Amino acid sequence: MSQTIATPPATNVLRRWGLRVWNDPQSRSTAIGIAGVLLIHVFLAVVSPYVLRMEHVPGAVRPHSPGKEYNIELTPESFAKAPEKQPDPFKFVETNPEAPENTPDKTANFAARNQQAAQEKPDPDGKNDRAATEGKKDFESNQIVSGRLVDPVERLEAVQPPAPETPVAETPVAPPKAEQNPLAGTEKVEGDNKDGLGTNIAKRLDNAQPVPEKVEGARDVKDFAGATSMAPAIDPRRPRPRPQIVQQQQVRPAILADNKFGTKNVGLTGIDAKWSNYGAYLQRMVDTVQIQWERLILQMSAMPAGGSTVAVKFIMNDEGKITNITHVDTSANETASRACVSAITDRSPYGPWTDDMKAVLGTQQEMTFTFYYQ
């Protein structure tokens, strides 16, 4: 007996495949997606000829116009590289207030005033940016002259007293009287002859004058009859300045660095520096700290050893306030170290920064002040 397998019709096979696909969720989603893509393409093929139809619009095309000619001339300077801007000075120095103002051509220093390096005895081969100075070897200083400070705050806040309603008159003062002594000696009648005269001789005294009696006074004073001198009266509201023998410069006391190589420019001792708002602000701050430090030194009970130093690192904000003391490096005793910190913080704030200072420094800046006890 033989067996044969009959082939099912194609419709049955297709129907069974469709049922199998429909019953499987993943296969069903894929089939729906394919069917949707086919329907969209058929729709676009039917509708696009009517939607995207383009018709000719009269006058839509502009007539051809001849192109314009432009003549451009280039010179070698046009290709030249733009000059680079010189960097702003970044090193603060203290200038000589007695030297004339003069803006240097190029320098890395900034200060409270413009100044050019010079010295009284020029150095023919000198090309330094500061004058030659004699001082401490292997030491870096930002000062070139030394002097003594007067409190700038008191000088700025001093108010002139009002003028008196009536001027103070000058008072005539008589010169001191000269000492006068009467002539020495007395007349006596001596001898056998009653009609004779005898004289007692004595040494002439100093300032002996033909006066009847002694006049007390000062020696070695010339006496001019009727002579008087005019001495102005002292007004307590306008005290006179104390006479000074040596005129000192209005600069901080300095420890100068030993600099053998100077400059060939002739003049008062100077240094190359350009003026800036930051330089003027920092100079006033340094002077104020110096004066406050000297006041605190006079109140200290124990002086530090000579040659000791105190370096104070602090942060200042754009309002001129000392916001934080970050570090103190000291070789002095505790009292001397506290005096240096107080000299910086006691006079804070030092005033708001200008707009250009804020543009360069930002909202705060870290600084280091070093104090030297000699």
Q: What is the pLDDT along the chain (374 residues), one digit of tens a residue?
A: 444 455 566 676 667 777 776 677 777 777 777 888 888 888 888 877 776 665 555 555 555 556 566 666 665 654 555 556 666 667 888 888 888 888 888 888 888 888 888 888 888 878 888 888 888 888 788 888 888 876 544 433 434 455 555 555 555 656 667 676 666 555 555 556 666 655 555 555 666 666 667 767 666 666 554 555 555 556 666 666 665 554 556 788 888 888 888 888 888 888 888 888 888 999 999 999 999 999 998 888 778 888 899 999 999 999 999 999 999 999 999 999 999 999 999 999 999 999 988 988 889 999 999 999 98
Give the list of residues 6+ apart from residue 4 with CB closer than 8 angstroms, or none.
Answer: none
The Cα 131–Cα 261 span in angstroms is 8
Q: Are the beta carbons of 325 and 346 closer than 8 angstroms?
A: no
Domain residue spans in the chain? 88-155+248-275, 276-374
Q: What is the pLDDT of residue 163?
A: 55
Which tokens sit at 141?
């200083």
Q: Residue 49 class from Cβ within 10 Å (0-12 exposed, 13-18 middle, 19+ buried)? A: exposed
Q: What is the pLDDT of residue 154?
A: 40
Give the list of residues 6+ apart from residue 201 with CB closer than 8 angstroms, or none.
Answer: 185
Cβ atoms within 10 Å of 215's Cβ, excluding its own: 15
Q: Say which amino acid occupies 197.
A: L
* Strand 274-275 to 109-111 pairing: parallel
The Cα 71–Cα 154 span in angstroms is 70
- Picking from 293, 269, 265, the residue whose alpha carbon sits closest to that of residue 135 is 269
Q: What is the pTM of this model?
A: 0.52
The secondary structure element, H or E, covering residue 315 is strand 309-317
Q: What is the pLDDT of residue 56?
A: 54
- Picking from 164, 198, 160, 206, the residue whose alpha carbon sits closest to that of residue 182 is 206
Crossing angle of the two packed helices 334-345 and 277-299, in degrees rounded to 10: 140
Which tokens sit at 350?
């030092």
Cβ atoms within 10 Å of 266's Cβ, excluding its own: 10
The Cα 209–Cα 180 span in angstroms is 6
- 276-374: in CATH 3.30.1150: yes
Return the bridge partners of 274, or none: 110
The Cα 35–Cα 41 span in angstroms is 10
Distances (CA, A) of 53 to 48, 49, 56, 192, 225: 8, 6, 10, 179, 135
DSSP 350: -
